[in-house]
Amino acid sequence: MKNFLSYLFVTVKGICMGAADVIPGVSGGTIAFMTGIYEELVGSINSINGTAVKLLFTGKFRQFWKHINGNFLFSLIAGILISILSLAKLMQYLLDYEPIQTWAFFFGLIVASSIFILRGIKGWKSMDFVMLVFGVVLGVVVCTLSPTETPDGLWFIFISGAIAICAMILPGISGSFILLVLGKYKYMMATLATIIDGKGDLMDFLTVFVFIAGAATGIIAFSKFLHWLLQRYHRQTLLVMAGFIIGSLVKVWPWSDKKTLVMSQFPELMDLNKSDMLTGELVDQHFAMIDMHVGGAVVFALVGFFLVVGIEVASMLISRSRSQSGQKASE
């Protein structure tokens, strides 16, 4: 009973992580750290190695499950999936019908996240500014040169899953943000929402399966590299990451996607869009008439900003409390 309750709490923590992972700018890794499971999570992921593969393919399933801390991973992943599936439909609705406020909220989240990453850098040197500027330029280039609509092919879904999952396990970096930059955030939310509605076809299920396969491959193949990178080049990695996040804010600007904004306020144009009859000229004409919701955008950006501030402050207080408890225990 005790073990059941402990793993049930792990599932609850997974639900919190999943909620964070659905929102660009809030890191599931930060939630894992706050709830005290980050080290166990990283350790469990790193245990999926050659020894684990050997145990699996020699039929030693019980030893394999114990080696990878299977009960913990299963409970956590179950919680994450419950949360993502529960929120996917809501996020799809908000992106379609309240895009300005939603993107403004994301904008505030991401600004706050980048500030907290930079806050951890002490004793700035000239090379640090070079790394930061490099990250900013890289972010701007990736987001402005890459097409708004990236490929929907399964190969790109696989790659997106592999890259996003690596960000999800890093405190301060959001996996959903990576999907957003890759142009697959709204696509994946829409696919999940379709499946939840019971309208999903074989391709929708295959898309989700391929994304999960990519995530599994990415977390096994790249987690050790990311761990090594942060161990050897922690400062430089954080600076480039922070710069990349700042530069890619151009992708999250609430008024950047004219077509979505126009369709959200003129729903009658959605049918034209589905039939590929919605021209750029028609979009521009209607864009001139839409309500920009500037006041609402500012409010939602501030809400997003202070949400991250609250999470980060809570994380620091918890970390300080654990450190003090550890010192008292050692005494």
Instruction: Quick: pLDDT tens for 117-146.
Output: 788 788 888 999 999 999 899 888 877 765
Predicted pLDDT at 276: 72
φ/ψ region of 36 (left if φ > 0, alpha if ψ in -120 to 50, else beta) reads: left
Is residue 95 in some structural domain?
Answer: no
8-state DSSP, 291: -
Structure-model confidence comparison of residues 155 and 180, the more confident one: 155
Residue 42 lies in domain? 2-86+104-255+292-322
Distance separating alpha carbons of residues 179 and 25, to the nearest angstrom:
11
Instruction: Kindly compute the dihedral angle of the four CA atoms of residues 81, 87, 91, 92, in this order, to the nearest 10 degrees.
Output: 70
The full DSSP string for 35-75 is: TT-HHHHHHHHHT-SHHHHHHHHTT-HHHHHHHTTHHHHHH
pLDDT of residue 38 exceeding 60: yes
Percent of the chain with pLDDT over 70: 90
- The Cα 174–Cα 7 span in angstroms is 25
What distances in angstroms separate CA 167 from CA 27, 54, 68, 218, 319, one per listed residue? Answer: 8, 28, 21, 10, 21
Lowest mean pLDDT across 27-36, 118-127, 291-300, 321-330: 321-330
Q: Answer yes or no: is 260 within a domain.
A: no
Q: Which of 323, 302, 258 is nearest to 100 (CA)?
A: 258
- pLDDT of 44 over the 80 cut: yes
In a domain, 81, yes or no: yes
Is residue 266 in some structural domain? no
Question: Is 293 in a helix, a strand, or coil?
Answer: coil
293-303 average pLDDT score: 92
Question: What is the number of structural domains in the chain?
Answer: 1
Whole-prediction pTM? 0.73
pLDDT category of residue 236 using cuts at 50, 70 and 90: confident
Q: What's the pLDDT band for 2 if we cut at 50, 70, 90?
A: very low
Going by C-alpha positions, the residue among 105, 318, 143, 115 that lies closest to residue 248 is 143
Q: How confident is the model at residue 197 (pLDDT cuts 50, 70, 90)?
A: confident
Give the whole-angstrom CA distance, residue 136 versus residue 240.
8
Average pLDDT, the chain: 82
264 occurs within a structural domain: no
DSSP code of residue 120: T
The answer to whether residue 130 is domain-embedded is: yes
* Nearest-angstrom CA–CA distance, 262 and 247: 26
Classify residue 42: in a domain, yes or no: yes
113 in a domain, yes or no? yes
